Amino acid sequence: MDTGSDFQEHHRTADIGTIPSPAVYRRALPAEYMDADAVKVLRRLERHGYIAYLVGGGVRDLLLDRRPKDFDVATDARPGEVKRLFRNCRVIGRRFRLAHILFSEGKIIECATFRRDPGQDEDGLSLDDGDDDDLLIRHDNHFGEPHEDAFRRDFTINGLFYDIRRGEVIDYVGGMADLERRIVRTIGDPSVRFREDPVRILRAIKFSARLDMGIDREVYRAVLDHRGELAKAAKPRVLEELLRLLRGGAAHRSIFLTLDMGVLGEVLPGLAESLDPRNDASELVFQRLRMIDELRADGELPSDAVLLAALFSGAYEAKLAEGLAPSAAIAEVLDEPSERLALPRRLRDRITTIVLVQKRLRAGRFSSLVRRDFFADGAALHVIDRMAQGEPVPDWAIDPPAPDELPEDAMPRRRRRRRRR
């Protein structure tokens, strides 16, 4: 099947208001990875006459025989109708509303009504006024049909629906072929899609690294051409996507790709310079990222503060080599993400604290720190650093002791204040 020509034909017929016919594949998804609560949501919506599909990353991961992190549902039911069906439902969002169905232990099944491209009218016709200088999407607030919902998604591998009742994958966008080819490809022209939402550039890198997939040639060229568009994206979104690169189990490959494709240089040029292979500290930073991936594989993902501290460690060490004091060095390193990514003050302060405490931890002088709320993060960063340098990791860092487990002579004594006379 020529998925590229099929996709172009589907896209053309959608533009003129004709509903395209999807490719349909009978597939049994791995039952051990399926979420029982998501199945309940789908079944109830179907019993009440609504169309309801499993959608997005959950379908993609199940087809790749991976355990999904989230299970999302797409339906023709409006948010208010979903709320009437589920007592454990809350509707969020002021402009575009989503239904969150709440289950035990904080689990949320997100249930979204099918949407359409905000650049089309009710008949599916383009509303483009011919000015293509700024394609940035600022509103995405229009309900639509299943095929319209598929076309408005970012990548083909994320545009698949799964009909649990029939056991069928519904594919309007050529996503199944791209999963088999193990390639990341945008739905539609990548230059347009990246200009609509530049954060998709980081998402393309994330999926390539995390799923061990190649990047389509046209997508790769579009990343190089439009990486500067990331300056237009909301700073907190760019920060969150950077954190997802670090959290996903492929931090080493993700950051390497952002560096290799010039994306990191657009987002954080100072950090990119510190990771240049010509800098002595860069290899140790990438080794720390490898250790983070190992910890993630063992189910021990460190906090965001630890992840960022490890990422910025090379830049920090370079500042120390220039003769800056530790506090001044970390402050200078964190100025860039604070400005360019709107790094929250609380997160910046935590990074600063756990970086500065490493000298004491290396000396084994940790007993006075055990009671502090940052101690676990400091110990986690210490473990990553030791592992990266091939050094033995002390037991106290792997399993930090509680204050009451320390010997009496290890606990700090309060200094008695002298009375003023």
Is the Cβ–Cβ distance between 347 and 304 less than 8 Å?
Answer: yes
Q: How many CB atoms lie within 10 A of CB 326?
A: 15
Torsion, CA 235, CA 240, CA 245, CA 249, rounded to 10: 170
Gyration radius of the chain's alpha carbons: 25
Is the Cβ–Cβ distance between 150 and 6 less than 8 Å?
Answer: no
Catalytic (active site) residue 404: no
The whole-angstrom separation of Cα 99 and Cα 78 is: 9
**Residue 41 structure tokens:** 């949501």
Catalytic (active site) residue 385: no
Is the Cβ–Cβ distance between 331 and 352 less than 8 Å?
Answer: yes
Amino acid code (one letter) for 21: S
Is the Cβ–Cβ distance between 271 and 312 less than 8 Å?
Answer: yes
Is the Cβ–Cβ distance between 123 and 87 less than 8 Å?
Answer: no
Would you say how long the chain is, in residues?
A: 421
**Residue 287 structure tokens:** 């080794």
Catalytic (active site) residue 132: no
- The active-site residue, picked from 154, 197, 304, 385, is 154
* C-alpha distance from residue 201 to each of 36, 94, 105, 228 (Å): 33, 27, 33, 10
The whole-angstrom separation of Cα 225 and Cα 210 is: 23
- The active-site residue, picked from 15, 37, 70, 140, is 70
- The active-site residue, picked from 6, 35, 61, 72, is 72
The whole-angstrom separation of Cα 133 and Cα 117 is: 18
Q: In what order do the strands lie in the sheet with 23-26?
A: 23-26, 168-171, 160-163, 52-55, 72-75, 108-113, 98-102, 89-92
Instruction: Enumerate the active-site residues.
Output: 70, 72, 154
